[in-house]
Structure 1
């Protein structure tokens, strides 16, 4: 095959957005993907219970999502475990959620209302912080010159020094072949929160320092007393950006 033929062959392919849209057009599959934005690995049975559908139906949906490239799977004995295919998939889902219209969800109890409020305020988006807290962090870093807008967000020299001072290791673009700084359009706040390698490093640092704690059953994050102090000292976050700590529920299974 000569170069012209090779070029013509590559031109004969185009991204099939309709196929991707079809994968997410089913509400059960969409719910499964949103659940997996917690960055964890779930069994098929756990997802069936979460989505309130039969295990056989869940298996059919998972087969489509895996073959479509949105999920990755592994087998451990007789159990099947699935997770999102990677951070790019998570960021795509969060961005799509930000573009999607809201669908009313009935709130049946005060506990559900509180959980919904907490989810909107601070949660994981795969491996970084989302919700009002995530947006506040991104905006505070930009206001302080740690991030700059240049065809998207970039980490400034001052930002790199700030990360080093916090004890966060190098998150350069070469690390894990991942974008250094990216943003997701937050579906609850409708503004950008920080993702990419820097966003993931900040999340890990906050967890390691016990500034935030994650519910083992949901994507909800709680800010600890130490975290409130740290976020005020490091970035000057106002009190309204800091959600009170919570008592996590028992783990799944």
Structure 2
């Protein structure tokens, strides 16, 4: 629920921005203590605006905002610094992560643990460690799905509550959860799912899940199918953009 209380010094990232008028923007931001919030940045498009060089995606910010309307007023924005803007595949991956948050998070619903995982994912995207890009995406996808209640327990079969067998293959089904699958069908071994559950339960889940996912190439289609189902689309816009660019 929106509040007229002024919020100051709030850690946040810009997820998306829309034109509101000739000089102003509507921002969708992900804040640590207030979740996804819509803000109006008046005058942000003017060349002289202090907002103009600051309100960029994938950059850590400190914001002040207030108001009692659904779209609140941005009062100030400060770039925290410490990392460069991702480029190339990392930039597209950042836009993909932002699209997931826009589709799956309700407004004004705080998720501080997810915010911390997002900040860690963005740091990986901004680094020069390209080999960590895909594992970082898988880690964030898993943590996002868990945080919004869409990820079943990964150490048991969802329908029967039977324990997983390490050598048996299981698939993640949008409506049925984790279920045994044939050896020649898409899925992961029970040992892999158990490892992922242990990583999610780790006190530092993003790093632990990133490391666990690094050797699991088959995890990507499992999560993609689940995410597309819950986002209600056949292909996410950023995913289609990646495919279009690869075909050029």
The normalised TM-score by structure 2 is 0.31
Greater helix share, 1 or 2?
1
The normalised TM-score by structure 1 is 0.30
Which structure exhibits the higher relative contact order, with contacts defined as CA atoms closer than 8 Å and separated by 6 or more residues? Answer: 1
Greater strand share, 1 or 2?
2
